[in-house]
Homo-oligomer: A and B are copies of this chain.
Amino acid sequence: MKIAIMAGDGIGPEVVAQAVKVLRHVLPQAETEEAPVGLAGIETRGVPLPDETLALAKRADAILFGAVGGPDEASLPREQRPGTGLLKLRKELTLFANFRPAFMFPELIGASTLKPEIVDGLDLVILRELNGDIYFGEPRGIETGPSGERYGINTMRYTESEVERIAHAAFQAARRRRGKVCSVDKANVLETMQLWREVMTRVGREYPDVELSHLFIDAAAMTLMRAPKQFDVIVTGNMFGDILSDAAAMLTGSIGMLPSASLGLDRKGLYEPVHGSAPDIAGQDIANPLAAILSFAMLLRESLGLEDKAQEVESAVRSVLAGGYRTADIYQPGTHRVGTEEMGDAVVQAL
């Protein structure tokens, strides 16, 4: 059993270090191997996804990932942007199904900016397609037109089979949950999304036990704020999924708590917190490691098939929350404020 550790940038290394503590505890026999990605890849090897890192990802049974990105990345050419490392990894390993659960921890309901009755008991999952869309479509770039004026261009693109495979993933996930899929598109404007809706509808007929509905992305963003509890599985493209999943995470008020899994054709997966690299708070021992730890729980479940151990880790997290432990992002008066390290130790203790 080989687990690749790619801690990345910003708070990545410190939160992943806590997840690795938990890993050592529940899976002492597992082999781990670290490799640089993102800024860390650029600084040590000149590229955001060094060859050795990709080779390790291919060899490993699963990848525990931190976060990538730093300040000022937006103006760099693509090959030098930290995020490109993550995008390449998703694409090279055909990790096309990104599960981003958004659920409410009862102890943290006060952290949400939404009224308790709107988010109490919230339990949805955003399934974001991860290998297609405008993230990868060609042509792309900044060109100069005949008049000498520059223009930027990117291409949204989906093939039928790309939509089919994410559709199957969505319906199958709904079967394991509450049996509802809401597909989000912009079929009233974009032909790519008309094809998306057509394929979703067709594949949906193979799952008559699952209820399928459709929303335009603008309506979905609104409904997520107005009545999020009506959702079970939301399936959408790479671009809309990026936006909706962060909005859904924010419903819970505690993005420092939310894990994600990126899965492909076999059991191999990449597991990462929903939060980013947060360079502004890096290295201060204040970041919340629970999203990384819960990502490791997903790894146990999805890639290693160790459901029992996954549940043990999740129970340990719930019990430290019940015990009042809080990092700064979820701190409220009357609870016990701890740092990143101390939170990791508390989870190991609870195990």
Contacts and interface: CB of A to CB of B under 8 A. Distances in A.
Interface of A: 69, 73-75, 78, 81, 83, 87, 113-115, 118, 134-135, 137, 140-142, 145, 149-161, 185-198, 214, 216-219, 221-222, 225-227, 239-240, 242-247, 249-251, 253, 255, 276
Given A75-B197, A151-B159, A225-B225, 11 more contacts: A113-B118, A113-B225, A135-B189, A150-B160, A151-B158, A151-B195, A152-B158, A152-B191, A156-B156, A221-B246, A222-B247
Contacts of A151: 157-160, 195
Interface centre among A185, A192, A198, A255 (most CB of B within 10 A): A192
B247 A247 contact: yes
Given A81-B188, A187-B75, A225-B251, A159 B154 contact: no
A204 to B, nearest CB: 14
- The 10 A-B residue pairs with the shortest CB-CB distance in the complex, in nearest-first order: A152-B192, A74-B187, A152-B195, A218-B246, A151-B159, A154-B156, A221-B247, A222-B250, A225-B250, A113-B118
B134 A188 contact: no
Nearest to A238: B189
A242 B239 CA distance: 14
Contact of A191 (B113, B115, B141, B255): B141
A188 B141 contact: no
Contacts of A160: 149-151
A191 B142 contact: yes
Contacts of A134: 134, 156, 190
User: How many monomers of this chain does the complex have?
Assistant: 2
Nearest to A189: B135
B250 A221 contact: yes
23 contacts: A74-B187, A74-B188, A74-B197, A75-B198, A83-B188, A83-B189, A114-B225, A135-B189, A137-B153, A142-B192, A149-B161, A150-B159, A150-B160, A151-B159, A151-B160, A152-B192, A153-B191, A156-B156, A186-B239, A218-B245, A221-B221, A221-B244, A243-B243
A155 to B, nearest CB: 6
Contact of A157 (B153, B190, B247): B153
A113 B226 contact: yes
A114 to B, nearest CB: 5
Nearest to A139: B155
Contacts of A242: 186, 217-218
A155 B141 CA distance: 12
A70 to B, nearest CB: 10
Contact of A75 (B114, B161, B194, B216): B194
Contacts of A150: 159-160, 195
A194 B152 contact: yes
Contacts of A149: 159-161
Contact of A222 (B74, B158, B255): B255
B219 A140 contact: no
A160 B137 CA distance: 21
Given A74-B194, A74-B214, A250-B221, A155 B152 contact: no
Given A226-B113, A243-B218, A246-B219, A191 B75 contact: no
A345 to B, nearest CB: 29
Interface centre among A81, A218, A253 (most CB of B within 10 A): A218
B214 A243 contact: no
